[in-house]
Chain A
Amino acid sequence: MILAGLILIPFLGGLLCWQGDRWGEAPRWIALATMVAVLVTALALWAGADFRLADPGAAAWLRELRLPWIPRFGIELHLALDGLSLVLIALTGFLGILAVLCSWKEVQEGIGFFHLNLLFVLGGVVGVFLAVDLFLFFVFWEMMLVPMYFLIALWGHSEPGGKTSTYAAVKFFIYTQASGLLMLAAILALVFAHQAETGELTFSYEALLATTLSNELALLLMLGFFIAFAVKLPVVPLHGWLPDAHAQAPTAGSVDLAGILLKTGAYGLLRFALPLFPEASAQFAPVAMGLGVFGIFYGALLACGQKDIKRLIAYTSISHMGFVLIGIYSGSTLALQGALVLMVAHGLSAAGLFVLSGQLYERLHTRDMTRMGGLWGRLGSLPGFSLGFAVAAVGMPGTANFVGEFMVLFGTFPAAPWIVVLASGGLILSAVYALTLMQKVYFGPAQKSSPLPGLDVREYSMMLGTFALVLLFGLYPQPLLDTTGAVMSNVQRLFEVPAVSSTFNLGGK
């Protein structure tokens, strides 16, 4: 039942927030309490479980909840938790708290409805991480979108003469909705193929895992899933919605988008696309890794050229997710684990950068970096934190981003050395864009010398907590690795990549 609780808490909290609107600031506190409850529940589950004992080979759920829903179509309310979903839910809880806190002063209108949407997004995400019935998964997948649409459209920023928040919200919605349709079609086709084979109509993940498909059909269905997840991750060229959505969204929306929503794409690949279609995925791996490398460079090059600080950070996300994509398709446990660490690391560091740009916006009322400069001495400890998160974006050792990126690269090298060599080139570009950001915003001649308000206690503790986690997982990532180890080696076992290793061989043994 605790799993149903994890999903219900945010939804109920959201409704409460909506109704709490009549008591002034109450929704903020309700939302905060809700997300704390989610985080505490997740951590309690984490503390109470032993992941190293998980039986290798079997899909080992730590907790499971199975209730009938629409038996006629073989649809169940089937929730299950393993190390992978637990880590991501804990991340959701933490970033949810961050999202509530960073809106404390920014959002002043429609507080109740804002928090309803915020919590519904988070509830949907938790549902995505827990659902192991494909129909239920799809329901949650779509459920995330609508409140996110409202967050961007209603509380977003519109520039006079530029893009409006509605434009960004509609673009976001169409991209994800259209790709969701492909996934739905793929799910249905898979279910019917399974029915044709066994005579049983079911949406159960475990049952569908055993479906045997012809090579062409598997490839086709795999692509249906892949495109849906690729839009979310996002994989270039399906990334167009992201910079607009980030630039126009309120800070909390950006935190959720970068920190959590992008991770649902990677989660989907790990949970569904790879295990359901192992051979097709293995065939597709070189293409996916190639797209990853392309995304690393394309995102980084575009990040270098941006003037809007939030667009810059958005493009860096695209670049970093390229590493995640490579790791996921590498077929090595080390790289898969690295992709997981990088997901968490990027969730924290990108969220940190977005919160900081929100704080900058509150003080300067602009996101245009050409109108900043020389801010180092004027903002108290804000620039120091920016430096910390920028350094994390560079992938400096000591931060979790380094651990993630390097595990991906180390793990992928035996299978695809040239991919790794190319991807390593992206490490130079990450230095270019992160330092460009620092230079344009904080260094150089000051445009004014009057001091601006520094960070208050709320802002300071948000940043300190997030950055402390980035360093903690950078210097001691083992808790994450132990939690997801069993899951990742299962994925790896399902996904042996003979096709890749013969294609890319650089004189290895």
Chain B
Amino acid sequence: MNIQIDFTLNGRAVSIDAPAHVTLLRLLRDYLNLTGTKEGCAIGECGACSVLLDGRVVNSCLVLAPQVSGRDVMTVEGLAPVEGAMSDLQAAFVKYGAVQCGYCTPGLVIAGEALLRDNHFPTRDEINDGIAGNLCRCTGYQQIVDAIEQTARQRAAAQVKE
């Protein structure tokens, strides 16, 4: 049973025909060829498939594709101001050694972005709480927390300047 799904994806209007029973994750990867969003467990336990839905972080493996009709979806590919470049948070992930194998990175960047939009001055404990839904097997999380913490400071400093 195909269904037409109209939504905003990374700031652009998208209209796509897909079966009603596919997940948002499959829609992104298999129908829209946006493979930055990863599948790690498909049951909402690892966060590798995290995307922003109307600005809030969700596991795209637990969202039914037609649920996003009329809504706004942001994936890892949409965070940078220019396609192929990096957002400040993505650059901080690289700078602070928060990237190793990289498979969890898109989901963690999305979760970090959601956290920073919600909480401009998170403590390290709050960051750990905010990324608890994203498993990482390589880094032990320390440098991921560093990257998010430093980005918060940079953003705060930039706001003061303005």
Q: Is the A/B pair a real complex?
A: no
Q: Please list the residues of chain A having a beta carbon within 8 angstroms of any beta carbon in chain B.
A: none
Q: Please list the residues of chain B having a beta carbon within 8 angstroms of any beta carbon in chain A.
A: none
